[in-house]
Amino acid sequence: MKKLIIATLLFVGLTAFAQEGKDMGHRQDRDGMEKMSPEQRNLLMLKKMTLELDLNSKQQEQVKQIIAEQSAKRDAMKAERMAKKQDNEKPTADEHFAMQIKMLDNQIAMQNKMKTILLQEQFKDWKSIRENFHERNYEKRGERNRE
């Protein structure tokens, strides 16, 4: 009986320890990206896109500008959200709707710009990569909400 209790406690302890390690990995990855400057994050994104889509130098310059614009917009929206969060203001339903519309408008504009820059096959690959990215993020959010 003692052995059964010890084995159970050992199993529960190891399981809890393994879950803590998994959670810390997510934070460390996020902290690494947050410690980068916006220019570093933009360059990293450009290099990844160059590898994935085989961009030529002209395309790289055009995509670099788009990434910088999107990054600036995203940082401004984040700063706005953080300011409201510090004031303990939750957005109203109308404000939330307006933020969603603004975000979708930005995505549509980016997609149209990318369509003019990329070749047809590159654009298909880019859309596929984005869809996979959004699916993975959606799954991660679901996992975090369940914990």
Q: What region does 55 belong to: left with phi over 0, alpha with psi -120 to 50, or beta? A: beta
Does a structural domain hold residue 88? yes
In this prediction the pTM is 0.66
Question: Would you give per-residue pLDDT tens digits along the chain (147 residues)?
Answer: 666 666 565 566 656 555 544 444 444 455 566 788 889 999 999 999 999 999 999 999 999 999 999 889 888 888 888 887 777 778 788 988 988 998 899 889 999 999 999 999 999 999 998 888 878 877 777 766 555
The phi-psi region of residue 50 (left if phi > 0; otherwise alpha if psi is between -120 and 50; otherwise beta) is: alpha
Q: Decide if 45 is inside a domain.
A: yes
40 belongs to a structural domain? yes
3-state secondary structure 93-140: HHHHHHHHHHHHHHHHHHHHHHHHHCCHHHHHHHHHHHHHHHHHHHHH
Inside any domain, residue 102: yes
Q: For residue 17, is it within any domain?
A: no
Q: How far is CA 17 from the centre of its chain?
A: 27
Confidence (pLDDT) at 7: 58
99 lies in a domain?
yes
**Other Cβ atoms within 10 Å of 64 Cβ, number:** 17
The boundaries of the domain holding residue 82 are 36-146
Q: What is the pLDDT of residue 66?
A: 92
Residue 125 within any structural domain of the chain: yes
User: Does residue 7 lie within any of the structural domains?
Assistant: no
Predicted pLDDT of residue 15: 62
Number of domains in the chain: 1
